[in-house]
Amino acid sequence: MAPAPPARPPPPAAGSSDSATLIPLAAIKRLIAGETGENKMGADALHLIHKASELFVEKLAAASVKKSDGETIGYDAVAAAVDDEDQGEFAFLSDLVPPTTTFEAYLAQQQQLQQEQQQEAMNEEA
């Protein structure tokens, strides 16, 4: 007779507070439910998304610490971690966490963009 396969540990019970977690399971449930308020996800899938979310936050925090200049992680450190072209693993967040800029630099960038668009329009007409 073949031995029984090893039993996998059950996912945490709904509403349980696991002291080793960084993100409350209830917060993950709210995110999944969204605006509809429906949560049609199995407990195993919920547990995996919960763990993946925690690993993501840990990895982003570690990358931000490397970019930080002190003991605390500020917006600039997180934005630098997202903008790091060598890693590129957080590039999908670039629209949500852009690097800080001054208003004057923003105006100059917009003016340059406008000039480039005008130049392209002139080239298309020719």
Q: Could you read off the pLDDT of 2-41 as tens digits, one per residue?
A: 555 555 555 555 444 445 678 888 888 888 888 677 778 8
Higher pLDDT, 76 or 1: 76
Residue 9 lies in a domain: no
Residue 16 lies in a domain: no
Angle at 78 (CA atoms; ends 81, 18), nearest 5 degrees: 110
Residue 17 lies in a domain: no
Residue 116 lies in a domain: yes
Domain region containing 40: 25-125
Spell 69-89 as b/e; 16+ CB within 10 A means b. eeeebeeebbbbbbbeeeeee
Residue 11 lies in a domain: no
Cα separation, 121 vs 126, whole angstroms? 9
C-alpha dist (Å) from residue 20 to 28, 93, 124 = 15, 27, 60
Q: Which CATH number is 116's domain given?
A: 1.10.20.10
- Our count of domains for the chain comes to 1
Residue 12 lies in a domain: no
Name the pTM for this structure.
Answer: 0.62
Task: Report pLDDT digits (tens) over 34-85.
Answer: 867 777 888 898 889 999 999 999 999 999 999 988 888 999 999 999 998 7
Residue 20 lies in a domain: no
